[in-house]
Structures are given as structure tokens and as C-alpha cells.
């Protein structure tokens, strides 16, 4: 295991400069940016204060008033160009994601590919924002629903998907006729600045091609929770899509509800998989290992709980432990690495606390120790941990944002299903089985209660075509594909009378002469 010795700050700077970002933007500011790859500082960016944020939101609201008048397919053209610019910048932006968020190279690139995919999806959508025509009970009337732009869409994003989350929201919001304000994670502002620069390039081409677009259509607000709060509290933001921990969701949700603003909350996940007696164990091993260890367990859909049938437990679990012992942990920038660093020391401490609590609750821990501490004293690499638990208790029922897989033996399918459903943070789930009845039961009304329920693939790696998210506490998946666009628009029901009378309620008469 080695750690790369490349100049991370220098490389990040080169990527930003290549996208046309002035050096002052990432070199002069109050907020230090650190790379989890080495723990070193790679930039300083300027945070905005709540007053500045409010002024910027006002300006973005003005942009909405104009943008909503542009025909939707023309709005789609801007998003098509954004997709083209993202294709051109894919290697650079993917690399910056790896440097700033610590994702391995293929995942950094995969994240940018998701941005491209949602742009393609949204371009098609820009010609499909249609409502129903509804049978009316009145003669000579027609009733229909129309979908209209909603207003400024606020986007709050988490560090672990530093750019894709923005694009899931931005691409849909823009074709729907909304302007956008983005408050990225304070841990990953450089990738946000880069994404905004890529958007500006698309916008420039759009305008050069003879289209009109208002100033401040997309606004970036750098800062921590107080800036997010300013966005959540602003009366001219009718929708906030916030992605992050359930702790954040609990702060944001009630505030939006208090002013009747709309919330899309994509929060934490304590995701499970069930391995049944008929499972293909080779396939299961791959699915489980990737879902539990990938992105060092820092995906909202990471596999955290594994229920293994007693007849396959002694075959599967030792093989899994072997995979855990041999998985390459190291610099995410080096080919062959599967597990990169934790985002910071707080994440490492959270992991060690959970492992200690699991031991206390009767668990047997394999792995979990810190690695590469001498090579990089301020970076936090760990061997992913497997914890065999006697029952689902203690830290097993919490989301710890680190690579810990709790394994529990079961003997009866219904018990395993009940355990899958027994935590509030049910975001994603899987079953590994070749028994059709178990597979169908798992995805049925009496099956998994999570927003994502998969058969014979792990819980992580959602596609943009489906409605992503799905934390069950907040009501299921609503970002990106499917009909998620409806969350970004307002529905009006229109009734048109093409007759020459207006029937009143029976027996009602008044003089209209």
C-alpha cells in the first residue's frame, strides 16, 4: 500500500484554471478546503454571509420570472449544452471529485457520468411536461391539468456526492422553468465551483447561439449550515431539495413546513441485504463486497446490515472476511484501489465509536483498524470492518457513515424481512435469492419498505432513470428520474366552458340584468 505523492492542490488548481475559474476564487478565502487523500490543504474559498445569500436569492428569483417564459424545449437546449460541456470536462471534473471527496477514479468519473445521464434525461423531458385531460361532469366544458414552473429551487448537497446531487436537481429544475440556488457541502466547494463554471460555459454557448437567458439563473452559495439555513428560510424559495444526514433533514424539514414550502429530503440510509439459502454465492459475494466497501462505506446506499441464512452462513461469511482482508485500501488516485479514505477525522472517530459500541453489544469485530497513518498523518484510511452480531441492536440500528458491515444469522425468511424493515432509515435494500417466491415477496407490498428494493444486486448504485432517494421516513424516492419532475412544478387544473350558459347550483337564481 502506498500513498500518492502528487501535488493535490496544484492539480486541483490546474483543473479549475482550465475551466476558466480565476485563481483568487479558490486561493483566497475564509474556508479551507482539504483533500481526504492526504489531509493537506488544497485551497481556500470565500464563504458568503446570510445577507449576501439573501441578496443573491432575490436576484435568482428575478431570473425565474424571465426563465419561466422560455418555452420548455428551448430550456432543454441549455441542459443539452450542459450535458455536452460535462462530456468535455468529464475527466477533469471526475479527477477533482477524487481529489476533493476521496472517491476512487472510476467512481469520480461515474459521478460525472450520472450528471451527463440526467442532462440527457431532462432534455427529453423538456418535451414531455404534460398533464392529463380529465373527463368533466359538465356539458360543453373541458377540464385539464397544466404544469407550470414553481420558482427558485434551492439545492443543498452532501459531501459524498459532491456534484451528481446538484445535477439531479439542476437539470430537472431548469427544464421545468425554475432558477436554481446551490449550497454545496462545505467539505467540497471546489467541485461545486467547477460545476458552476461548466454551467457558465454552456450558458455562454446558449446565448451565443441566439437564445436568451436571464442573469443569475444559477447561483452558487458557498458556506456551512448557516448559509443552508438562509436558503431554507427565504420566502422566495418555494422548494428546497436537501440531501444529507437525517440530522440535517430534521432541522430543515420543519422549517420548510412552517412556511408551507415544499421539501425534497434525500437523507441517510441504513441499508440491508438478505442472503437466502438459494442465493448464488459468487454473485452475492461480489454484490455485498462492492456495496459495503465501495466509496469506503460513504454512500447513502452503502450496505450496512447483512442477514445471512444459517445454511449458507459458514460458507459465505469466511469468504467475505477473506475479501475484506485482501481489498486494496489506499490512494483513490491509484489504479487498483477499491477503498479510498474517510472524509475526515470525525468520520474515523465515528467509526471507532460504533465498533466499540458493537463490541459492547456482543459483536465480534474483524478489521476496522487505521491504515497508512505514518504515510499521511492527517488522512484517515481504514480496513473495512465486518462485525458479526448476535442480534440487531446498539449501533446496528444507526447509520454510521463508514465501512462497517454488521452480519446477523437468521433461520426464517419472515424474521429476516422484519429485521430489514426494523430501522427508520430504510433507504435501499436487496435480496439475494433464486427462489421466485422470496424475490417477489421482497418487492411486494408486504416486502421491503424501503424506497429502493433490489433482487440479486446490491443496494447501492441507483440509476438516474428511477426516482432516486427513497428514505422511508421522508416518503420515498423523488429525485432524478421517473415522474420526479412533478416535484419541481406546480399543477393547475383548468376548466374551459365552450358553451353559452353557465349552470348554477339547482334552485339558485339572481338578477344579472
- Catalytic (active-site) positions: 266
Q: Which is nearer to ligand NAD, 157 or 178 (CB)?
A: 157
- Provide the edge-to-edge strand list for the sheet that holds 404-410: 364-366, 385-388, 404-410, 303-309, 271-275, 428-432, 452-455
Burial of residue 44 (CB within 10 Å: 0-12, 13-18, 19+) is middle
Sheet containing strand 489-497, edge to edge, reads 133-134, 141-149, 489-497
Taking the least distance from each CB to ligand NAD, the nearer of 126 and 295 is: 295
388 or 471: whose CB is closer to ligand NAD? 471
Q: How far is the CB of 104 from ligand NAD (least distance, A)?
A: 17
Q: Per rule CB under 6 A, is residue 143 in the interface with ligand NAD?
A: no
435, with CB counted inside 10 A (0-12, 13-18, 19+), is: middle
Contacting range for ligand NAD; rule: CB under 6 A; set: 104-112, 155-163, 331-339, 482-490: 155-163
Rounded to whole angstroms, how far apart are CA atoms 205 and 82?
Answer: 10
- Nearest to ligand NAD of 259, 491 (CB atom): 259
Residue 351 touches ligand NAD, criterion: CB under 6 A = no
Which CB atom, from 337 or from 400, has the smaller least distance to ligand NAD? 400
Cα(310)–Cα(294) distance, rounded to whole angstroms?
26
Among 60, 126, 243, 276, binds ligand NAD (CB under 6 A): 243
Q: Give CA–CA dist 118/82, Å, rounded.
A: 10
C-alpha cell read off for 279: 442465493
Nearer to ligand NAD, 401 or 406 (CB): 401
Exposed/middle/buried for residue 346 (C-beta within 10 Å: 0-12, 13-18, 19+): exposed
Q: Which three cell numbers stand for residue 423?
A: 430501522
Shortest Å, Cβ 432 to ligand NAD = 23
Does 244 help bind ligand NAD (rule: CB under 6 A)?
yes
Binders of ligand NAD among 400-439, rule CB under 6 A? 401, 427
Choice from 83, 330, 458, 469 touching ligand NAD (CB under 6 A): 469
Q: How far is the CB of 191 from ligand NAD (least distance, A)?
A: 13
- Annotate 47-116 with DSSP letters as a single string: PPPHHHHHHHHHHHHHHHHHHTTS-HHHHHHHHHHHHHHHHHHHHHHHHHHHHHH---HHHHHHHHHHHH
Nearest to residue 166, comparing CAs of 148, 178, 153?
153
Q: Which is nearer to ligand NAD, 81 or 256 (CB)?
A: 256
Among 248, 275, 296, 484, binds ligand NAD (CB under 6 A): 248
Cα angle, residue 136 at apex, residues 133 and 141 outer, rounded to 5°: 90
Q: Which of 11, 77, 111, 186 binds ligand NAD (CB under 6 A)?
A: 186
- By CB under 6 A, is residue 482 in contact with ligand NAD? no
8, 118, 232, 292: which one binds ligand NAD (CB under 6 A): 232
Q: How far is the CB of 220 from ligand NAD (least distance, A)?
A: 12
In the shown chain, the binding pattern of residues 87 to 126 toward ligand NAD, with x for contact by CB under 6 A and - for none, equals: ----------------------------------------
Q: Quote the least distance from Cβ 166 to ligand NAD, whole Å.
A: 11
Residues 384-403 that bind ligand NAD (CB under 6 A): 399, 401
Closest CA to 376 of 323, 430, 332: 332
Nearest-approach distance from CB 301 to ligand NAD, in angstroms: 8
Q: What is the dihedral of CA 338, 344, 347, 351, to 10 degrees?
A: 60
CB of 157 to ligand NAD, least distance (A): 6
CA within 13 Å, CB half, 85: 22
Would you say 126 or 160 has its CB closer to ligand NAD? 160
- Give, as ranges, the residues between 210 and 229 that touch ligand NAD (CB under 6 A): 224-225, 228-229
Question: With binding defined as CB under 6 A, does residue 153 bind ligand NAD?
Answer: no
Q: How far apart are CA 361 and CA 391, in angstroms?
A: 9
Cβ neighbourhood burial of 500 (10 Å; 0-12, 13-18, 19+): exposed
Residue 253 interacting with ligand NAD (CB under 6 A): no
Pairing of strands 385-388, 404-410: parallel
- Binding span for ligand NAD by CB under 6 A among 7-15, 39-47, 116-124, 244-252: 244-252
- Number of neighbouring beta carbons within 10 Å of residue 501: 8
> Rule CB under 6 A: which of 260-299 touch ligand NAD?
266-269
By CB atoms closer than 10 A (0-12, 13-18, 19+), residue 157 is: buried
Helix-then-strand count for the chain, H and E? 14, 21
Which residue is closest to ligand NAD by CB? 228
Task: Indicate whether 357 belongs to the interface with ligand NAD (CB under 6 A).
Answer: no
Q: Considering CB under 6 A, how many residues would be counted as binding ligand NAD? A: 31
Our finding on whether 163 is near ligand NAD (CB under 6 A) is no
Binding site for ligand NAD (CB under 6 A): 156-161, 183, 185-186, 224-225, 228-229, 232, 243-245, 247-248, 251-252, 266-269, 300, 399, 401, 427, 469, 471
Amino acid at each position: 500500500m502506498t500513498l500518492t505523492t502528487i501535488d493535490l492542490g496544484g492539480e486541483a488548481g490546474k483543473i479549475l484554471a482550465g475551466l476558466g475559474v480565476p485563481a483568487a476564487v479558490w486561493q483566497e478565502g475564509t474556508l479551507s478546503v482539504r483533500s481526504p487523500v492526504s489531509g493537506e490543504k488544497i485551497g481556500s474559498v470565500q464563504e458568503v454571509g446570510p445577507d449576501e445569500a439573501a441578496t443573491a436569492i432575490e436576484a435568482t428569483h428575478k431570473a425565474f420570472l424571465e426563465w419561466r417564459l422560455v418555452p420548455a424545449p428551448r430550456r432543454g437546449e441549455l441542459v443539452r449544452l450542459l450535458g455536452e460541456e460535462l462530456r468535455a470536462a468529464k475527466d477533469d471534473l471526475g479527477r477533482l471529485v477524487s481529489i476533493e471527496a476521496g472517491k476512487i477514479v472510476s467512481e469520480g468519473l461515474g459521478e460525472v457520468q450520472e450528471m451527463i445521464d440526467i442532462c440527457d434525461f431532462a432534455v427529453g423531458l423538456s418535451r414531455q411536461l404534460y398533464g392529463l385531460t380529465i373527463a368533466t361532469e359538465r356539458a360543453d366544458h373541458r377540464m385539464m391539468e397544466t404544469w407550470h414552473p414553481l420558482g427558485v429551487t434551492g439545492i443543498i448537497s452532501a459531501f459524498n456526492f459532491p456534484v451528481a446531487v446538484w445535477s439531479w436537481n439542476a437539470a430537472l429544475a431548469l427544464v421545468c422553468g425554475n432558477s436554481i440556488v446551490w449550497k454545496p457541502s462545505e467539505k467540497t466547494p471546489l467541485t461545486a465551483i467547477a460545476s458552476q463554471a461548466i454551467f457558465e460555459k454552456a450558458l455562454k454557448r446558449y446565448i451565443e447561439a441566439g437564445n436568451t437567458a436571464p442573469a443569475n439563473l444559477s447561483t452558487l452559495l458557498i458556506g456551512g449550515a448557516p448559509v443552508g439555513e438562509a436558503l431554507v428560510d427565504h420566502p422566495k424559495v418555494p422548494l428546497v431539495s436537501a440531501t444529507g444526514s437525517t440530522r440535517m433533514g430534521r432541522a430543515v424539514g420543519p422549517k420548510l413546513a412552517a412556511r408551507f414550502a415544499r421539501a425534497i429530503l434525500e437523507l441517510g440510509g441504513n441499508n440491508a441485504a438478505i442472503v437466502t439459502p438459494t442465493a448464488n454465492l459468487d454473485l452475492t459475494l461480489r454484490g455485498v463486497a462492492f456495496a459495503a466497501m465501495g466509496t469506503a462505506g460513504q454512500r447513502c446506499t452503502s450496505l450496512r446490515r447483512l442477514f445471512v441464512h444459517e445454511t449458507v452462513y459458514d460458507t459465505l461469511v469466511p469468504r467475505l472476511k477473506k475479501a475484506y482482508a485482501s481489498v486494496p485500501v489506499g490512494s483513490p488516485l491509484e489504479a487498483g484501489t477499491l477503498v479510498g479514505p474517510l472524509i475526515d477525522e470525525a468520520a474515523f472517530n465515528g467509526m471507532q465509536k460504533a465498533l466499540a459500541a458493537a463490541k459492547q453489544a456482543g459483536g465480534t469485530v474483524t478489521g476496522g483498524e487505521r491504515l497508512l497513518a505514518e504515510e499521511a498523518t492527517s488522512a484517515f484510511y481504514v480496513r473495512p470492518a465486518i462485525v458479526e452480531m448476535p442480534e440487531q441492536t446498539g449501533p446496528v440500528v444507526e447509520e454510521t457513515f463508514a465501512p462497517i458491515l454488521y452480519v446477523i444469522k437468521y433461520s426464517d425468511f419472515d424474521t429476516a424481512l422484519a429485521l430489514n424493515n426494523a430501522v427508520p432509515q430504510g433507504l435501499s435494500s436487496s435480496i439475494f435469492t433464486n427462489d421466485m417466491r422470496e424475490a417477489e415477496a421482497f418487492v411486494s407490498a408486504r416486502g421491503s419498505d424501503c424506497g429502493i428494493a433490489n433482487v440479486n444486486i446490491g443496494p447501492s448504485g441507483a440509476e438516474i432513470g428511477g426516482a432516486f432517494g427513497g428514505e422511508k421516513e421522508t416518503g420515498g424516492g423523488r429525485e432524478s428520474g421517473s415522474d420526479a419532475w412533478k416535484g419541481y412544478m406546480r399543477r393547475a387544473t383548468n376548466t374551459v366552458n365552450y358553451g353559452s350558459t353557465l349552470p348554477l347550483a339547482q334552485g339558485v337564481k339572481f338578477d344579472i340584468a
